[in-house]
A and B are shown apart, each in its own frame.
Chain A
Amino acid sequence: MTRPSPRKPPPEAHEIRPAVEAKDFSFWYGKNQALKRVSLQMPDRQVTALIGPSGCGKSTFLRSINRMNDLIPGIQHEGDITLDGDSVYRADQDVVALRKRVGMVFQKSNPFPKSIYENVAYGARVNRITSSRSELDELVERSLRQAALWDEVRDRLHSSALGLSGGQQQRLCIARALAVSPRVLLMDEPASALDPIATQKIEELVYELKEDYTIVIVTHNMQQAARVSDRTAFFFMGELIEVGRTEEIFTNPKVEQTEAYITGRFG
């Protein structure tokens, strides 16, 4: 187990108003309960890492925040998740608008089979953020710079996104999500399919992005969670076992199961 590098300790959750908050949130796929009364605060402009063994419900929780699970037949939930105090699950919630406020980056990069430019511009087009060509150009450049990809692709903006390397594709997907100016960025194991160098780039990126965005990241990589996150939440079999400042969780976990997991004694 590696100790996270010393740095200014992030404030406690209650010191910052939560951007996203789950309150007693339970979730079912048919009869299979995937989340059990999860209550978790994800503070504004901080990185919250979700860790836990496979199948413990991390992705389910993440996808409940932008209601990506709505597509799956037979799902059910109880409790609530709020975004800036606004219930994500209220009956008249505009899911399309919600997803604009909550961007998502998936485990496997999933660029559209279009040009790099069109990939980044898609969100702006679909949300009618701007129709002026020059504004769109600016937005694309800004998003690609934010995703630390601009210098690598500036000369081939109009060639296919599928010609990029895996790491570049993933950063492109991040740029694509940022172009919509989301409030929150959800990342489901964004680096799990990447080599160490590409992974490092993504991690640096996450660290920079939290200046402007609230980030929730799922990871299987303990070091990664320690490196990039301010707070860590440990899930086990659909339950939130422990949550706290990342340093705290990694150096001094309060629950036996957490310690077992992060020291690799099970998983």
Chain B
Amino acid sequence: MPSATDSSPALPGGQRPVPPPSSAPGGGEGGRFLPSRKKGNLTDQFYGMILKLFGLTLPLLFVFIVLRIGQEARPAMEAFGFAFITSTEWNPVLREFGALPFIFGTVVSSFLALLIALPLSVGLAVFLTELAPRWLAAPIAFATELLAAIPSVVYGLWGIFVLVPFLRFTVQEPLSRRFGDTIPFFEGPAYGFSMMSGAVILSIMIIPFISAVTREVLAAVPRSQREAALALGATRWEMTWQVALPYALPGIIGGAILGLGRALGETMAITMVIGNRPDIAASLFAPGYTMASVLANEFAEATGELYLSALMEIALILFGITILVNIAAQALVWRVARRGGAA
């Protein structure tokens, strides 16, 4: 535990401030380490300039991408206006373009995935950092991290051949038979390729991220905080849930949002299992469609300016949602950090 003895009341949750790229040392610092101050300054200035250039390139690239996509999306915006995001009709042949089913598919599949992944990830992280002996924790942690290295398309194939049939025959069909008439989420025929399959595969894909972040912030909880709880007669369990996890909460939220962001943008795997039908259904067993999937599926064969433009507008919306999620996350983390009293 690197920060075991650190009890500074700094940001809880092990937030490390990342210096912005443009604040790279411009000379003053570096001179100390080099024999010739003058030479050091020159070199440092040179590197400083290069770093500044890189630092400026990224925001510029960002602005450029947004502008470019916005420009491409303009015909669709003009043709449909606000109705584009409220309409559920997506019929390229009739030149009807409504994005709501895709927005619905992306948002619902991602939030469901987060709902599944968050408790599992936190549970896993707590198990690995607080309970498991070292010889067991290390290989399990390694294995979960490996999950993150599996290519998306491999997840998709596994989804098609293993996950979808499994969900269909052992989860969906029994649930549908038993609760299909009473609970709308379990209604209708079980195709396998469905919102549920999409959410499950996304959740598996984001567990490594959320649990890795959670593990890191749990390990960064100062030992003094843990000892404070134990010395007052808390059990390990109470210490974990009442002291360590709350202390790490902002970081865990950060990890969850990271996972959510990834789920929102994930394309290949979910495209292969969600069924790709632009419907809005309450049932988890019904197929859905996501923004990323429709872009991947239809872009190559999109004919006509309006069709292309509609896809571009979807891209813009996806972009917007992702940014909103990140801003919301940041705001949330700040609020939690402040409430924690790290003034």
Do the beta carbons of A96 and B233 come within 8 Å of each other?
yes
Contact of A110 with B233 in the complex, beta carbons under 8 Å: no
How far apart are B320's CB and chain A's nearest CB, in angstroms?
34
Residue of A nearest to B133 (CB): A73
Query: Quick one: which of B1-49 are within 8 Å of A by CB?
Result: 7, 9, 12
Jot down 19 A-B pairs with beta carbons below 8 A, ordered by A: A68-B231, A71-B226, A97-B233, A99-B231, A108-B7, A110-B222, A110-B227, A112-B229, A113-B246, A113-B247, A113-B340, A113-B342, A160-B340, A160-B341, A162-B340, A162-B342, A173-B228, A177-B232, A180-B233
Does the CB pair A112–B243 fall under 8 Å? Answer: yes
Residues of chain B with a CB closer than 8 A to A177's CB? 231-232
Closest 5 CB pairs of A and B: A160-B341, A100-B233, A110-B224, A123-B232, A104-B231
CB nearest to B231 among chain A residues: A104
Contact B224 A108 (CB under 8 A): yes
Instruction: Give chain B's interface residues, CB within 8 Å of chain A.
Output: 7, 9, 12, 222, 224-235, 238, 242-243, 246-247, 340-343
Q: Hey, which chain A residues are within 8 Å of B222, CB to CB?
A: 110
Residues of A within 8 A of B229 (CB): 112, 122, 126
| Alpha-carbon separation in the docked complex, A68 to B12 (Å) | 24
B245, chain A: closest CB distance, angstroms: 12
Within 8 A of B (CB), among A238-266: none
How distant is the Cα of A97 from the Cα of B206 in the complex, in angstroms? Answer: 40
Nearest-neighbor residue (CB-CB) of B337 within chain A = A113
Neighbouring B residues of A97 by C-beta, 8 Å:
233
Q: A96-B233, A103-B232, A113-B12 are in contact. List 13 more A-B contacts (CB 8 A).
A: A66-B231, A99-B230, A99-B233, A106-B227, A109-B7, A113-B246, A113-B341, A123-B232, A160-B341, A162-B340, A176-B228, A176-B232, A180-B233
Structural contact, A114 and B341, CB atoms closer than 8 A: yes
- A123 (CB) vs chain B CBs: closest residue: B232
Total number of residue pairs linking A and B with CB closer than 8 Å: 81
* A51 surroundings in chain B (CB, below 8 A): none
- List residues of chain B with CB within 8 A of the CB of A111: 9, 228
Q: What is the distance, in angstroms, from A55's C-beta to the closest C-beta of chain B?
A: 15
Which B residues are in CB contact (< 8 Å) with A160?
340-341, 343
- In the assembled complex, A163 has its CB within 8 A of some CB on chain B: yes
B7 contacts A110, C-beta separation under 8 Å: yes
Contact with B along A80-113 (1 / 0, CB 8 A): 0000000000000000110110011010111111
Q: Residue-by-residue, is A103-134 near B (CB-CB < 8 Å gives 1, otherwise 0)?
A: 11010111111100000001100110000000
Complex CA–CA separation, A68 to B246 (angstroms): 22
Q: Are the CB atoms of A122 and B342 closer together than 8 Å?
A: no
CB of A161 within 8 A of CB of B341, answer: yes
Cα of A254 to Cα of B243 in the assembled complex, Å: 47
Asked whether A162 and B343 contact (CB < 8 A) given A99-B231, A123-B232, A126-B242, the answer is: yes
Q: Do A113 and B231 contact each other (CB < 8 Å), given the known contacts A160-B341, A160-B343?
A: no
Verify B343–A163 contact, CB threshold 8 A. yes
Q: Mark A170-189, 1 if CB is under 8 A from B, else 0.
A: 00010011001000000000
Q: Which residues of B contact A122 (CB under 8 A)?
A: 229, 232, 242
A126-B242, A163-B341 in contact; A103/B231 too (CB < 8 A)?
yes
Q: Are A112 and B228 in contact (CB under 8 A)?
A: yes
Q: Complex Cα distance A112/B232, Å? A: 12
Partner of A106, one of B9, B12, B224, B233: B224
Who on chain B is nearest to A109 by CB? B7
Given A68-B227, A163-B341, CB of A126 within 8 Å of CB of B233: yes
Q: Are A162 and B233 in contact (CB under 8 A)?
A: no
A160 and B343 CA atoms in complex are apart in Å by: 9
Contacts of A103 in B (CB 8 A): 231-232
Nearest-CB distance from A68 to chain B (Å)?
6
Bound: A130/B226 CA distance, A: 23
Which chain A residues border B224 with CB–CB below 8 Å?
106, 108, 110
Q: Which of B222, B228, B243 has the most CB of A within 10 A?
A: B228
- Does B228 lie within 8 Å of A126, measured CB to CB? no
User: CB distance A71 to B230 under 8 Å?
Assistant: yes
Of the candidates A96, A109, A110, which one forms a contact with B234 in the assembled complex, judged by CB atoms under 8 Å apart?
Answer: A96
Residues in B neighbouring A110, C-beta threshold 8 A: 7, 222, 224-225, 227-228
Residues of B within 8 A of A162 (CB): 9, 340-343
CA distance A93 to B229 in the complex (A): 19
| Residues on the A chain within 8 Å of B247, using CB | 112-113
Q: Which of A109, A163, A180 contacts B232 (CB 8 A)?
A: A180
Rounded to whole angstroms, the CA-CA distance of A219 and B91 in the bound complex is 80
Q: What's the nearest-Cβ distance from chain A to residue B180, in Å?
A: 44
Rounded to whole angstroms, the CA-CA distance of A159 and B231 in the bound complex is 23
Neighbouring A residues of B246 by C-beta, 8 Å: 113
- Taken together as a complex, chains A and B put the C-alpha atoms of A104 and B224 apart, in Å, by 12
Looking at B12, B233, B340, which has the most chain A CB atoms within 10 Å of its CB?
B233
Task: Output the least CB separation between A4 and chain B (Å).
Answer: 30
In the complex, are the beta carbons of A123 and B343 less than 8 A apart?
no
